[in-house]
């Protein structure tokens, strides 16, 4: 809690972001380069799917991040409503477009993987539909922030909406077990350990780490932007107030001369 | 690898991946550049990342960076 308290101050957070962003960005670039090399030149083709399996190294990390970002936003929503942490709302607002981006990537790459393997771009099975619902929730949250002018009300409304939408996360995770789906069941995070070959698992782990660090980097940058946006708004209001005061204090003789 | 009849789907997926990741990165960086430029109008020569009057105590929820000015 002391750590959280220290970085409740936006200036302290900006100082931390200045230090962390370059390092995280460099680590992301290294991991992405290594991950793509492993995915294309080290990992073998699948005995059934052939080369198409290489879409997995993009689709699965995007899917994990789609869920991870939403869980991050749920924690931030609790931070807004329960602990009233001053940066929780900024963190939640900054994460939403990134979550929408990863979910969109998951849906598109899934479709591009599904067409050659299933013979269909889209099927209304539980996993695909629940991920589509997640994407719509992200879009709904983005719309909410844009439509409510009062920032405090928008933050509370978005936090409540996020907490309600969190019910979709376990539905996505367990949809392949609860319903009979065309989508395959979990093959990495499962009781009994991963069921895929180590030669395919390691490139997947590296790509997932790369995507996680990519999100961490972009999230820090987006929170920094949000703090600057609020600072800009405050300065604009102060400047407008100062203009109004100077107009009121103008001598009446000058007013009539105009 | 390229002889696979479905290799086009792999290329398309990674192309979309680069576009989405590149788009998100570019959007965040462009937003930062615009905000820095706008803040420069209020304090020419100052660094937008640094508070103009030093650290302030937290003011409560939903006003990060919007604390009222000292008079």
What residues form DSSP beta bridges with A46? A50
- B10–A55 C-beta distance less than 8 A: yes
**In terms of Cα–Cα distance, which of B58, B56, B61, B60 is closest to B70?**
B56
CB contact at 8 A, A218 and A21: no
Tokens matching residue A200: 């395919």
pLDDT at residue B48 greater than cutoff 70: no
Distance separating alpha carbons of residues A135 and A130, to the nearest angstrom = 9
Q: Which helix (H) or strand (E) holds A27?
A: helix A10-37
Distance separating alpha carbons of residues A182 and A114, to the nearest angstrom = 10
Give the count of beta carbons closer than 10 Å to the beta carbon of residue A9: 21
| Overall average pLDDT of the A76-81 stretch | 93
Out of A51-55, A111-115, A177-181, B9-13, least confident range: A177-181
Contacts of A214 in chain B (CB under 8 A): 21
Predicted confidence band at A85 (pLDDT cuts at 50, 70, 90)?
Answer: confident
Distance separating alpha carbons of residues A197 and A101, to the nearest angstrom = 29
In the stretch 157-196 of chain A, residues with CB closer than 8 A to chain B read: none
What residues form DSSP beta bridges with A115? none
Every domain of chain B and the residues it spans: 1-43
In this complex, which of A10, A113, A227 lies closest to B9 when CB atoms are compared? A113
pLDDT at residue A208 greater than cutoff 60: yes
Distance from CA of B28 to the nearest CA of A (A): 6
Cα A162 to Cα A6, A139, A157, A215, A223, distances in angstroms? 25, 12, 9, 19, 18
In this complex, which of A214, A224, A232 lies closest to B39 when CB atoms are compared? A232
Contacts of B36 in chain A (CB under 8 A): 228
Distance separating alpha carbons of residues A165 and A158, to the nearest angstrom = 10
Every domain of chain A and the residues it spans: 19-240
| Mutation for testing the A interface, residue in B19, B47, B62, B68 having most A CBs under 10 Å | B62
**In terms of Cα–Cα distance, which of B19, B6, B22, B18 is closest to A54?**
B6
**Which residues contact residue A146 at a Cβ distance below 8 angstroms, ignoring those fewer than 6 apart?**
none
pLDDT at residue A4 greater than cutoff 70: no
| pLDDT at res. A111 | 95
Residue B44 at interface with chain A, using a CB cutoff of 8 Å: no
Question: What does the DSSP 8-state code read for residue B62?
Answer: T
Number of residue pairs across A and B with CB atoms under 8 Å? Answer: 148
Answer with the residue of higher pLDDT: A4 or A222. A222
Q: How far is CA B36 from the centre of its chain?
A: 11
Query: What pTM value is reported for the model?
Result: 0.86
CB contact at 8 A, A77 and A92: yes
- B64–A227 C-beta distance less than 8 A: yes
């Amino acid at each position: 809690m002391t750590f959280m308290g220290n970085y409740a101050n936006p200036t302290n957070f900006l100082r931390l972001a200045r230090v962390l962003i370059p390092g995280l960005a460099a680590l992301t670039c290294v991991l992405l380069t290594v991950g793509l090399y492993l995915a294309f030149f080290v990992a073998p083709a699948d005995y059934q799917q052939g080369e198409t399996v290489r879409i997995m190294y993009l689709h699965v990390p995007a899917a994990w991040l789609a869920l991870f970002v939403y869980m991050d936003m749920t924690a931030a929503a609790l931070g807004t409503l329960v602990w009233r942490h001053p940066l929780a709302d900024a963190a939640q607002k900054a994460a939403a477009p990134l979550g929408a981006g990863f979910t969109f990537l998951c849906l598109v790459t899934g479709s591009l993987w599904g067409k050659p393997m299933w013979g269909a771009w889209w099927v209304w099975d539980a996993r695909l539909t629940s991920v589509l619902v997640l994407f719509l929730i992200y879009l709904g949250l983005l719309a909410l922030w844009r439509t409510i002018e009062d920032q405090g009300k928008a933050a509370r409304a978005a936090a409540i909406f996020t907490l309600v939408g969190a019910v979709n996360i376990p539905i996505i995770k367990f949809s392949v077990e609860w319903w009979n789906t065309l989508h395959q069941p979990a093959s990495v995070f499962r009781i009994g350990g991963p069921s895929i070959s180590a030669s395919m698992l390691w490139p997947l782990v590296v790509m997932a780490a790369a995507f996680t660090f990519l999100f961490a980097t972009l999230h820090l940058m987006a929170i920094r932007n949000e703090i600057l946006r609020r600072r800009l708004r405050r300065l604009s209001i102060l400047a407008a107030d100062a203009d109004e005061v100077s107009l009121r204090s103008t001598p009446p003789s000058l007013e009539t001369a105009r | 690898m390229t002889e696979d009849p479905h290799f086009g789907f792999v290329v398309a997926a990674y192309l979309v991946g680069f576009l989405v990741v590149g788009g998100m990165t570019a959007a965040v960086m462009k937003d930062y550049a615009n905000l820095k430029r706008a803040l420069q109008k209020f304090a020419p020569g100052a660094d937008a990342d640094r508070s103009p009057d030093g650290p302030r105590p937290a003011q409560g929820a939903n006003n990060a960076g919007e604390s009222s000015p000292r008079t």
